[in-house]
Structure 1
């Protein structure tokens, strides 16, 4: 895939995203290829291990490594999950943070610490989740409280809204509209796996389905057009097929732009 991206001459993506953990200390052939790509494309970083909701302290040395890495590769946006993945060791999964005011203040303080070290705002992603332990407030109220308390940005994942709306029985459009437009740094869209009629697994391993495309169109109509990344983590099709979905994002953005001009 690195070779595919380096050799593209037409219909290139506007930007690419990587997990910084996979590239921080990588050298040799792949390190050189990555450096070549960051010179050709705009990149954003989407973290996997900051563990914002963890009971463990924030890994300060890791955040300082990120700061150097971002400067080396001119990374303008760093996003992370509104979840946690560690507690006396790495859990290798993204676990839900309890939806409560206490949790919101705790996570916001940790986000502010990271932002202070990096000397830049970060974006947090609304995540998919399959259980809501110790829930005392709604997901949307919790998300908005964290964004407000920490004064951070939002990575708006449209597929996660759709997945959660099915799994937890809420109105996806209402959730989408309740998010703060002014905080959206960029967006994600992806495919998923239907385990059952009332259970969707957020896999990033399949094509985007039509209801999620429609929700993306609603997002642009309500919040304005924002940069949007197609996520695909496995079952990777040929690059031409991936670029067809990237092109569909552009088509929907173009339609939203035309609709705005007609108002």
Structure 2
């Protein structure tokens, strides 16, 4: 049985450039859409009306950019309450955030790695609990790509699993980030994937990236998904069962029908493993 299927099987990250296409789409529609709430909270006029029409028609999840869970700065409580109202207005099914930070005496326009230590894991878990208490719902955290690991004591998988356990939250499993980190930091992607807790996976991401060098990949979400990442998604379904999965594409956007072909490939892979599960 498909896990956590209350918002669909195969989804697509929504950008403003896609609004007209999504509103006019009648066939091969994504099962759910995802937005960064920061990009839609304050919109008015035409965009706000189009967005409300879409949230009335589609299942939606939100993937945040600025909660800054690992920051030394206090949480922005007013912002969290704004999110709570936004989620209610648009019937948002789930909220996720990055296991990283983007502020410290000011806002940084990048996602920075949290030191992999027990103290940092417990600190972040406490902040996740605070957010969940205000929202009155569990949130999901995403395993992120990173390019340096300052002050590392724990491995990435030890750190991630400690946060999940301490916060008792969901996991947004980003398959591309595991692949990127495995190349950049020289670990086995399948072993990392297998060590994640199946019961916490609520949905997944898959995306493209940029090869800077043989041993350096940049997580850009600006290209097609490559075959090794598709293969790793299949491994994820083998290890953890089939979970809702979303295609991320942030720039270099191709025509909508090309994006929907990748969404359809997610469905095809899911169907393969759902059939296998039914035969067990």
Aligned to 1:256: 273
Aligned to 2:51: 34
Q: Tell me, what secondary structure is at the counterpart of 1:206?
A: coil
Do structure 1's residue 246 and structure 2's residue 246 form an aligned pair? no
Q: Tell me, what secondary structure is at the counterpart of 1:93?
A: strand
TM-score (norm 1): 0.99
Give the deviation of 1:257 after TM superposition: 1.1
Kindly report the root-mean-square deviation, in angstroms, between the aligned alpha carbons of the 2 structures.
Answer: 0.5
> Which residue of 65, 77, 83 corresponds with 1:60?
77
Aligned length: 263
Aligned to 1:221: 238
Q: Tell me, what secondary structure is at the counterpart of 2:33?
A: strand
Do structure 1's residue 210 and structure 2's residue 227 form an aligned pair? yes
Aligned to 2:250: 233
Larger RCO (CA under 8 A, 6+ residues apart): 2
Do structure 1's residue 177 and structure 2's residue 194 form an aligned pair? yes
User: Where does structure 1 lack aligned partners over 5 or more consecutive residues?
Assistant: none
Do structure 1's residue 75 and structure 2's residue 65 form an aligned pair? no
Do structure 1's residue 3 and structure 2's residue 3 form an aligned pair? no
Aligned to 2:136: 119
For each residue in 1:131-165, what CA deviation from the matched residue of structure 2 results, as whole angstroms up to 9, or x when unmatched? Answer: 00000010000000000000000000000000000
Give the deviation of 1:82 after TM superposition: 0.1
Work out the CA distance in 2 between the residues paired with 1:92 and 1:49.
Answer: 9
TM-score (norm 2): 0.93
Do structure 1's residue 134 and structure 2's residue 151 form an aligned pair? yes
Aligned to 1:18: 35
> Which residue of 198, 201, 204 corresponds with 2:215?
198
Work out the CA distance in 2 between the residues paired with 1:2 and 1:61.
Answer: 29
Work out the CA distance in 2 between the residues paired with 1:145 and 1:224.
Answer: 22
Give the deviation of 1:217 after TM superposition: 0.4
Give the deviation of 1:260 after TM superposition: 1.9
Q: Tell me, what secondary structure is at the counterpart of 1:160?
A: helix
Do structure 1's residue 188 and structure 2's residue 188 form an aligned pair? no
Work out the CA distance in 1 between the residues paired with 2:126 and 2:277.
Answer: 38
User: Where does structure 2 lack aligned partners over 5 or more consecutive residues?
Assistant: 1-17
Work out the CA distance in 1 between the residues paired with 2:90 and 2:204.
Answer: 21
Give the deviation of 1:7 after TM superposition: 0.3
